[in-house]
Structure 1
Amino acid sequence: MNLADLGVTSGGALAIALLAVYFFAPKQARRAELVGRVQEVTVTVKGGYSPDLIRASENVPLRILFDRQESGECTSRVVFPDFALNRSLPAYATTTVEFTPDRAGRFGFACGMNMVHGTLVVEPSTDHGGNGHASQAAVEVAPPATREGSSPGTEDAETLERRAEIADLTRRVLVGAVLTAPVLFAVMADSLNARWLPQILLNHWLQLALITPAYLYAGWPIHRIGWLSLAHRAAEMNALITVGTTAAFIYSLFVTALPGLLPTDLRQVYFEAVGVIITLILLGRLFEARAKAGTGEAIRKLIGLQPRTARLVRDGVEADVPIEEVVPGDVISIRPGEKIPVDGDVIDGHSSVDESMVTGESIPVAKQRGDVVIGATINQIGAFHLRATRVGKDTMLAHIIRLVQEAQASKAPIQRLADVVSSYFVPFVIFIAIATFVVWFVVGPEPQFTLALISAVSVLIIACPCALGLATPLSIMVSTGKGAEQGILVRSAEALETAQKLNTIVLDKTGTITRGAPELTDVINTNALNHDELLRLVASAELRSEHPLAAAIIAGAKKRGIDVADPSDFQSFTGKGVRAKVGGRIVAVGNERILREAGIAAEPLAEAALRLSTEGKTPMLVAVDGRPAGVIGVADTIKDDSAAAVAELHRLGVQAVMITGDNRRTAGAIARLAGIQRVFAEVLPERKANEVKRLQSEGRVVAMVGDGINDAPALAQADIGMAIGTGADVAIEASDITLISGSLAGVVTAVKLSRATMRNIRQNLVLAFGYNIIGIPIAAGVLYPLLGLRLSPMIAAAAMALSSLSVVSNANRLRAFRVKTLPAGEIPTLEPNVEVSAEESAPAYVDAHTGEGDYMKEKTTATDPVCGMSVDPATAEYRSFIDGNAYYFCSAGCKTSFDIDPAQYTAGSTSGGHHSR
């Protein structure tokens, strides 16, 4: 080893050591200063975050002022994934983000694609009186009234900025290409010994004159961020390109200006490499910017759904007003074909509404007085008035937009690997480039310096941390947007990742598998009356009843086109049924007691009633003119697609389990229809979470699907909670995924989308890691001794540009995700395995009219023994147990009255608090 080799080796080792200290030594942090009761700190956004390390205290409101002194998509948003914050940062403006760090630790913040990083260090608070929960409010400085996620203006500004960036990149690519093309053409022709080539094109000064504008103007976005990131000690991809192209440009400038100071074999210039590298990198970014513009399309579509005006009705006069002026309680007129501006209740008129843009369901939904309509959906042919209930940021659409943005701001666990690698990637690439230069200079063939320089520059150029940074967030952004289009709202990337591991899904019965409301199912006649006449008499007799089962019978009759007459001599008997005169005929409808007290034998109806009861239906006995006439069956029927959804889950390798507070018989009947093999029956609401925990103890990854308040604990206990969007707000808040349409097909879609997303992310990571693992050694020259293959910086630049583009293109494949119609569920051949809750199961509740030889032992609904209201035992909040019998109440007042004198309400019955019609 000669003196030069020794000097280069020592210099290389020293450079690596100094750079290691520079990049990895503890960074100086800025502490947020207390201003009043709020911590405040200003962060400059210019080629990164300065400072990029912020210290704050736990449970004290934190205000961060982001002073963005640049444009371009790279820093157009800031994301705090651990606090579910995703905020836009307008160019050349200061944006205020406020929230309360609710836990201590180190939390990263980054631009939307995680290409620019910062760290928030939250230190434990000495004051334990904090509120202990994060406030996720963020206030934009201009205009202050605008809330992210509910204003089209913010998205319009981002769209304009994106277009401006694409236009700027296009100009720079054109400048780079026009100035580089003559130099590249001359160098390539000279390498082929073209005699016709004008020698002026090979003049170093001419090449310098052409490439300098390409290096400075076209490459300015790269160099500016690259040098700033190095100054911030947070080197990233731009820094690698900047160092590589600058080294090649300065060396070529030195050769051009002072050729006499170098040996003849070292007087080669690399101006064409500088121009081609910059042009190709910018061309790749142009394609990438166009491709990434599509990843946020779902959010832009959702925001584009928001109407700008509403037709307000005041004092009988209609007037168009800006949507911002509508307040809850206002009456709004909706004409055919118009977009509904806000959420509300129909108070007059009827129509059908296309809700596909919110629920994903393509069939229009009929709406009439009392029905709820969702803002941004489209009215069809009818006209109606609605009363506004939720406006502005409280509408369903605004809620959807916020959930999608929070999901896109979140971080999947699989992304942590990419984040850890990315944080060390660029410094190590610089170390490898220095080592490559040293090795080739010391042991390489002649010309050693040239080979060493080319190899080192190639290493710097080919490395692509950008691909690693894009691999996960792009897929998350596309998939959550697609989910929103299909009526699937995913709260976080972590939920999306966990959902692909599911092997068990627990389905609450009422409102999830079933419709959640009783419907007429059977009309069985036992005398000369035909079905329609029997149903007409029963529906007419029930017309004045306020009982939910009466409403189901009347609705069923009208659906069949049967005219219902107004009865006379109507009488209602609590716990028994009704009696009325219809067209001169005396009709009695109810349980056995109402027939027995009228001296009518119920035995001829027993067999039919028992069959309906076995099927989980509620039988109602009918007598006409003192004779048994038939049995009417009413039940909470399963949804049209429940069986198909369960069958598809089984095909996906996911076991469906039903959980319900109903008795074994009813639970088994519903499970049989839905094709579910495992059932937990007679489970008290507060014990549903225990059953989920029991499944988890079996090593299962469990999702819970429910819609009621009583489902919230189980939703929280499950690995993934899925709430039916038509259910209670508490259930939706406790869930990880919300199914807006209320269809079980949404569960299948959520599982399929999750699996497609994680498959796409793994493909992206394989592309990103594989590219760098293979590309960097080749650029360093490992194949040169064996095959004589050496990678030029120009080829390295093309490869680097293609690597990011391949990841973006692969992520965009998720935009082709489509929901296919579920195949029909197979007719189940196995009996369900019904398990009673192992711990404190719900008591079996029996009918008030049970007696010797009775045919109905268990019921799915109950009657409040005090007021006669129908009560669902599975969800009843108030209950009493006397002599082993369960009684259910609609309110605390009824329970209090019952507890004072139970005998008054239980006389003549084995148990109260049940449905007794």
Structure 2
Amino acid sequence: MTLAATERHPEGDVELAIEGMTCAACAARIERRLERLDGVRARVDLAAERARVALTTPVAVEELVATVERLGFGARPVTDDRPPAPADGRVERSLRRRVAVALLLGLPVAHVSMGLAVDPALRFAGSPLVLLTLAAPVVTWCAWPFHRAAVVNLRHGTASMDTLVSLGIIASVAGSIVSGPLYLDVALVVTLFLLVGRLFEAGARRRAGEAVRALAALRPRDAVLRRNGEEVRVPVSWLRAGDEIVARPGEALAADGEVVEGECALDTSVLTGEAAPREAGRGDSVEAGAIVVGGRLVVRVTRAATDSGLARMVQLVERTRTERANAQRLADRICAIFVPAVLALAAATFAGWTIVGGPAFAASLSVLVIACPCALGLATPMALMAATDRGAREGIFLTGHRALEAAHAVDVVVLDKTGTVTTGRMSVVDVAAAPGVDIRDVVRWAAAVENASEHPLAAALVALARESVGTPPPVTGFTSLSGLGARGTVEGATVTVGSARLLDAEGLDPDVVDVAGWERAGRTTVLVGRNGVVVGAFALVDEVKPEAAAAVATLRDLDVRTVLLTGDHKAAARRAAEEIGVDDVVAGVDPDEKAAAIDRLRAAGASVAMVGDGVNDSPALARADLGLAMGSGTDVALGTADMILVRDRLDVVPAALALARATRRTIRRNLAWAFAYNTAALPVAALGLLNPVVAGATMALSSAVVVASSLRLRRP
């Protein structure tokens, strides 16, 4: 449905897709202008290029779109539940081309320009014209993103760092035209370095914007609806409470509901993070996104697909990402005051020296050149690039700026269990046999049946057999028992492998083998029956990673408290917690409850880092002050996190915190130096005591200091 131009949207939320934003200042400008409308509150997500508008009174959607378009950005209403379209990379490709041209033309010209400034004897016939001609593409086409933003700012009566960059480039070129190619190095180096920083930021925004798209893509687009005995495939948006849907093996459930027919195992790791599949049968509640394993279910829908738990997870991540986008970087906040002050000082300098008959142009040009915030612009991207280089060697990847603002204060690290603290793969840790039965036979019989099964636990039993007794014997008459287990004929006997519930239903006494102790210890149990008698059982666990305990101990040495937060059952959580030595355990929680647990910790005054790997962890990763995703995690977790631990080892977490803190300290030191340098140099330039050539050299020196400071991060 498309909203009519004159339709006034009722009270509630409206979502707009925004085009043309380049920085946090753009997002802030859109928010401020939208909120001038009566009854409008706006939050703009720069990474996803979306604006979420909350309405307290009816407002025409056309009016919202027109307000954004008057600022020079594109806008359109989002009227369906499809995920945002993936970024096409046009911005990054354009920036790469501009950087390449600036490198090929700008660096040689800047080198010659600086040489002429030092030794005029190097001048050759026509050298000013040649250098200006070669520099023209760099200061016009390459620098166009800054010039365009400056023009947009001017049209709306505002100024940003782009304004000062554009003016600095123009002033440097103007000075070169008037006095020879003395200031081209300033214009060219400023353009090149800031384009590199802009390219880095564009890549970070693209990666961050993929999180919501990947999460939304997990929702099935259609479902098999059963009505009046007929089955027909329909879009999930058609589903309503009370409808019956059919899910076959390998399919994901399209909506939350209750099982009315069938039994199977459900892979709910996407929702709960639990490695072991969950059995589901008539009367059990099931969730959208869970994958049917080895059976067929008919489910009565209890909530529309747009209201399912998975859909709420998408909404939670989207809302949290929008909250993140509100914080402007420190450089933008400085420039909000600094830029107008510099412009006013340059104008006052020109006017003052004109009145007294002094060097008005040279002095005002010196003010603009010395103030051109190259160091301010380099402070963050150079530190990030250096940190990324070091992080890659240590198995750490920074996905954006937010990690640097949050890491210094982290005093609680929350750990997911499955795939983070544990390997995420089930393995057999104990085998028991009934009296008079050889354990090796129990292993052989069970592996023979499971070798024909696709159940997630089957691989562990088959692997044990191949390591201990060799290749399992053949099986005939194999039957999968609706996800509860399997049956087959092995060496002339009927062998059943499955849960205690299955064997009990088939008239076998599961108490023949004592597994109560295993279950209390948080282990998953599988029983084996042969010719109507229980002959043995297996205990399986999701093994703790070998480095987990040492990582927790290192965090404790850093005065960081640890919490294990998992959707797994309490016994398994307690077992893992005791093994690695965490301080607190919160178990049996769904994704919403994980996010709520993070909120409670933050409300109590803690600065929280969350470490996870699954889709179910993404809301908690988004809600935490600092989100860290294991490298083996899902695309959603990787996209939502502030850091990705590519080595997939838990002992990288303390190193990641240390790197983020060091990077943040470096950025603040860079910004402090750049701002202090400008503050001290501006009065000198305004008094006419600083030649524009010296001003350009001083500005370049300031940038070199920032670069050198940033490169220190590359050393461990």
TM-score (normalised: structure 1) = 0.47
8 A contact 1:507–1:513 mirrored in 2: yes
| Residues 408 and 480 in structure 1, CA contact (< 8 A), matched pair in contact too | no
**Which one of 445, 459, 462 corresponds to residue 554 of structure 1?**
462
Q: Highest CA radius of gyration, 1 or 2? A: 1
Which structure has more helix as a fraction of its residues? 2
Matched, 1:656 2:562: yes
**Cα displacement (A) at 1:520:** 1.7
1:806 aligns with 2:705: yes
Cα offset for 1:626? 10
Q: Does 1:762 align with 2:668?
A: yes
Structure 1 residue 278 and structure 2 residue 183: aligned?
yes
Please give the alpha-carbon distance, in whole angstroms, between the structure 2 residues aligned to 1:410 and 1:812. Answer: 29
Residue 518 (structure 2) pairs with residue 612 (structure 1): yes
CA RMSD of aligned residues (A): 6.2
Alpha carbons of 1:567 and 1:215: their partners in 2 closer, same or farther (altered >3 Å)? Answer: closer
In 2, Cα distance between the equivalents of 1:179 and 1:575?
Answer: 80
Deviations 1:255-311 (A, max 9, x none): xxxxxxxxxxxxxxxxxxx55842553575588489769958989x99xxxxxxxxx
Q: 1:417 aligns with which of 304, 311, 333?
A: 333
The 2-side partners of 1:655 and 1:619 are apart by: 33
Cα distance in 2 for partners of 1:775, 1:519 equals: 67
Shift of 1:515: 3.9
1:526 to 1:429, Cα distance in 2 relative to 1, 3 A? farther
Q: Equivalents in 2 of 1:596, 1:148: separation in Å?
A: 50
**Equivalent in 688, 691, 694 of residue 594 of structure 2:** 688
Q: How does 1:303-322 map to 2 (within 5 A)?
A: none
**Taking every aligned residue pair, what percent have the same amino acid on both sides?**
30
Distance 1:739 1:709, change over 3 A: same
Q: Does residue 1:536 correspond to 2:444, yes or no?
A: yes
Please give the alpha-carbon distance, in whole angstroms, between the structure 1 residues aligned to 2:639 and 2:190.
40
The one-letter amino acid paired with 2:415 is L
Matching of residue 79 in structure 1 with residue 16 in structure 2? no
Pairwise CA distance, 1:800: 1.2
**Alignment CA distance shift 1:427-1:695 (3 Å):** same
Match of 2:694 in 1: 795
Amino acid at match of 1:657: V
Instruction: For residue 801 of structure 1, report the CA deviation from its aligned partner.
Output: 1.6
Q: 1:100 to 1:130 in 2, by over 3 A?
A: farther
Indicate if the aligned counterparts of 1:526 and 1:630 stay in contact, CA closer than 8 A: yes
Equivalent positions of 1:827-838 (< 5 A) are: none
Gaps in structure 2 of 5+ consecutive residues: 7-13, 77-84, 208-249, 251-321
Task: Please say which of residues 803-812 and 687-696 is displaced more in the overlay.
Answer: 803-812
Partner of 2:374: 466
Which amino acid in structure 2 is aligned with residue 757 of structure 1?
T
DSSP-derived class of the 2:59 partner: coil
* Alignment pair present for 1:163 and 2:100: yes
1:165 to partner: Cα distance: 2.7
Mapped pair 1:514 → 2:398: no
**Structure 2 residue identity aligned to 1:681:** A
Q: How does 1:213-228 map to 2 (within 5 A)?
A: none
Quote the residue 1:128 is aligned against.
59
Shift of 1:679: 0.4
Question: Using the alignment, how far apart are the partners of 2:492 and 2:388 within structure 1?
Answer: 62
C-alpha distance in 2 between matches for 1:772 and 1:137: 36
| Alpha-carbon spacing, 1:646–1:626, altered in 2? closer, same or farther (3 Å) | same
Q: 1:497 aligns with which of 391, 405, 410?
A: 405
Deviations 1:368-411 (A, max 9, x none): xxxxxxxxxxxxxxxxxxxxxxxxxxxxxxxxxxxxxx999997
Aligned to 2:310: none
Shift of 1:430: 1.6
Range with greater deviation from structure 2 (528-537 or 697-706) = 528-537
Kindly provide the CA deviation profile for residues 109-151 of structure 1, in whole angstroms up to 9, marking residues without a partner as x: 9x99xxxxxxx9x999986354999999999xxxxxxx98546
Change in Cα spacing, 1:83 to 1:651, as seen in structure 2 (3 Å) is: farther
Deviations 1:725-758, CA, capped at 9 Å, x for gaps: 7667776776666667866567556545533432
Are residues 177 and 736 of structure 1, via their aligned partners in 2, closer, same or farther at CA, if it must alter by over 3 Å?
A: closer
Any conservation in 2 of the 1:521–1:635 contact (CA below 8 Å)? yes
Counterpart Cα distance in 2 of 1:287 and 1:709: 39
Task: Tell me how far apart the structure 2 counterparts of residues 408 and 481 of structure 1 sit (CA, whole Å).
Answer: 25
Q: Distance in 2 between matches of 1:217 and 1:453?
A: 23
- Residue 671 of structure 1: aligned partner: 577
Provide closer, same or farther for how the CA distance between residues 137 and 500 of structure 1 changes in structure 2, counting only shifts above 3 A.
farther
Asked whether the 8 Å contact 2:190–2:374 carries over to 1, the reply is no
Mapped partners of 2:641, 2:467: distance in 1: 36
1:664-711 superposed Cα distances (whole Å, 9 cap, x missing partner): 432210112233221013445553333222212221122444455655
Contact residue 162 and residue 293 of structure 1 kept, 8 A: no
Amino acid paired to 2:377: G
- Output one character per residue of 1:297-351: Cα deviation in whole Å (capped at 9) or x when no partner: 989x99xxxxxxxxxxxxxxxxxxxxxxxxxxxxxxxxxxxxxxxxxx9xxxxxx
Q: Determine if contact 2:416/2:566 at 8 Å carries over to the other structure.
A: yes
- Superposed displacement of residue 498, structure 1: 2.8
Distance in 1 between the 2:74 and 2:646 partners?
Answer: 24
Which residue is 1:426 aligned to? 342
Scaled by the length of structure 2, what TM-score is found?
A: 0.58
Q: Secondary structure at the match of 2:543?
A: coil
1:804 maps to amino acid: S
